[in-house]
Amino acid sequence: MNQLQKEILKLKKQKNAIILAHNYQTAEIQEVADFLGDSLELCLKASQIEDVDMVVFCGVDFMAETAYILNPDKKILLPDISAECPMAHMLPAKEVREYKRRYPDAAVVLYVNTLAEAKAEADILCTSANAVEAVESLSEKRILFGPDMNLASYVAQQVDKEIIPIPEGGHCYVHKMFQPTDIMVMKEKYPGAELLIHPECDQELQEMADQILSTGGMVHYVASSPSDTFLIGTEMDMVTRLSREYPDKTIVPLLSEAICTNMKLHTLEKVKNSLITEKYQVVVDPEVANRARSAVERMLALPP
C-alpha cells in the first residue's frame, strides 16, 4: 500500500465509512475498497449496509443514486461528482412516460443504468446479471426495455415475450468499441482462450462469444472454469481485477482501448478528499426515491 492508500484506510476508520467500488475502478482504488463488485452485487451490498455513517461510492452517478435510494439515512458520496454514465442519461423519465402512453399494455423493465427519475417509472429494474429473470418475473407479454439496445436484444433471444427496446439507439460507448476483427486477431494469438463478452457489446460479438456475462459473472466464471486463458470483452480494469485475483490464469483484454473514462474520474486523491470534506453527497428527491425503491426492491427480491 502507498502512503495515500494508508491515509484513506485511516480516514475510513475515523469517519466510520466504507468504500464500495465497481469492477471498472483502477487497481489502486480496488485495493482500498471494502467491497468490489458488479452493479447487482453493489446494489445488494448497498441494501445490507448497517452501522456505517457514510459510503464513498467509486462508481458512476446511477450507482450512487441507487445506493442512496436504498439508504436515504446515510451519506452517499461520489469522490468526483461529474462521474456520470452517458448511457444512463439516454433515457429521461419523460421519454419513459411517453412510451408507457404509447404501449399501455406493456410492463417496463429498466436497466439499473438509468437515473432515479426514470427508475421511478419502471415496474422492475435489472442489471446485466439478472435481465432475463427480471423480464420472466412479470406476467405481461410485452416489455418496454431500456436503455441498452444490446442488452435488450440479448434478453429478446432468451424469452418468449415481445421486447420493445427504448429509446432508439441506447448504448454504451465503451462496449461499442469492440469489433469482430478484435476477436479474430486475439483468437489467432490465443487459440485455446475462452472468450467472455459483456451483453452491452453488439450482437455480432455476442454470437462469437463462449460466454455472455456481467462483470460479476466473469469473476465467478474464471474462478470455476478449468481453462487457463481468457479473453475479456469488457472494460480494461475488469482485466485488472481478474489478474489480481487469479494470478495463475492468463487474463487478456480483448481490446486494451476499452476504457470507461467516466469511471476513471475517481482517483485516490479524490477519495481522500471525499472522506475529509464529506463531499460530494448524492441525494434523490424523497418522492422519486420512494417510487424508484419499489422497482429496485422488486429486482433484489428475484431469486439468486
Q: Which residues bind ligand SF4 (CB under 6 A)?
A: 60, 85-87, 113, 172-174, 235, 260, 262-263
Q: Which of 39, 66, 114, 274 binds ligand 13P (CB under 6 A)?
A: 39
Could you write out the DSSP letters of every residue in 28-72?
HHHHH-SEEE-HHHHHHHHHT--S-SEEEEES-HHHHHHHHHH-T
- If DSSP codes are grouped into helix, strand and coil, which group holds residue 233? strand
Q: Is 131 exposed, middle or buried (0-12, 13-18, 19+ CB in 10 A)?
A: buried
Q: Determine, following the binding rule CB under 6 A, whether residue 209 of this chain makes contact with ligand 13P.
A: no
The piece of 36-44, 102-110, 245-253, 278-286 that touches ligand 13P (CB under 6 A) is: 36-44
Selection from ligand 13P, ligand SF4, none that 38 binds (CB < 5 to 8 A by kind) is: ligand 13P
Selection from ligand SF4, ligand 13P, none that 149 binds (CB < 5 to 8 A by kind) is: none
Q: 10 Å Cβ neighbour count for 99?
A: 17
Selection from ligand 13P, ligand SF4, none that 39 binds (CB < 5 to 8 A by kind) is: ligand 13P
Which is nearer to ligand 13P, 15 or 154 (by Cβ)? Answer: 154
Write each residue from 87 to 116 as x if it is in contact with ligand 13P (CB under 6 A), else as -, in one continuous string. Answer: --------------------------x---
Q: What are phi and psi of 100, to 5 degrees?
A: -65, -35
Q: Determine, following the binding rule CB under 6 A, whether residue 237 of this chain makes contact with ligand 13P.
A: no
Q: Is 152 exposed, middle or buried (0-12, 13-18, 19+ CB in 10 A)?
A: buried
- If DSSP codes are grouped into helix, strand and coil, which group holds residue 216? helix
Question: What DSSP character marks residue 147?
Answer: S
Write each residue from 153 to 192 as x if it is in contact with ligand 13P (CB under 6 A), else as -, in one continuous string. Answer: -------------------x--------------------
Smallest distance, Å, CB 177 to ligand SF4?
A: 10
| Residues 111-150 interacting with ligand 13P (rule: CB under 6 A) | 113, 127-128
Selection from ligand 13P, ligand SF4, none that 128 binds (CB < 5 to 8 A by kind) is: ligand 13P
Which is nearer to ligand SF4, 123 or 235 (by Cβ)? Answer: 235
Q: Give CA–CA dist 252/152, Å, rounded.
A: 27
Please say whether the beta carbons of 183 and 205 come within 8 A: yes
Q: Determine, following the binding rule CB under 6 A, whether residue 240 of this chain makes contact with ligand 13P.
A: no
- If DSSP codes are grouped into helix, strand and coil, which group holds residue 296? helix
Residue type (1 letter), 284: V
Selection from ligand SF4, ligand 13P, none that 239 binds (CB < 5 to 8 A by kind) is: none
C-alpha cell at 23: 469492477
CA 267 vs. chain centroid, Å, equals 19
* Sheet bearing 54-58, strands edge to edge: 35-37, 17-22, 54-58, 75-77
Question: Which residues contact ligand 13P by CB under 6 A?
Answer: 23, 38-40, 113, 127-128, 172, 200, 214-215
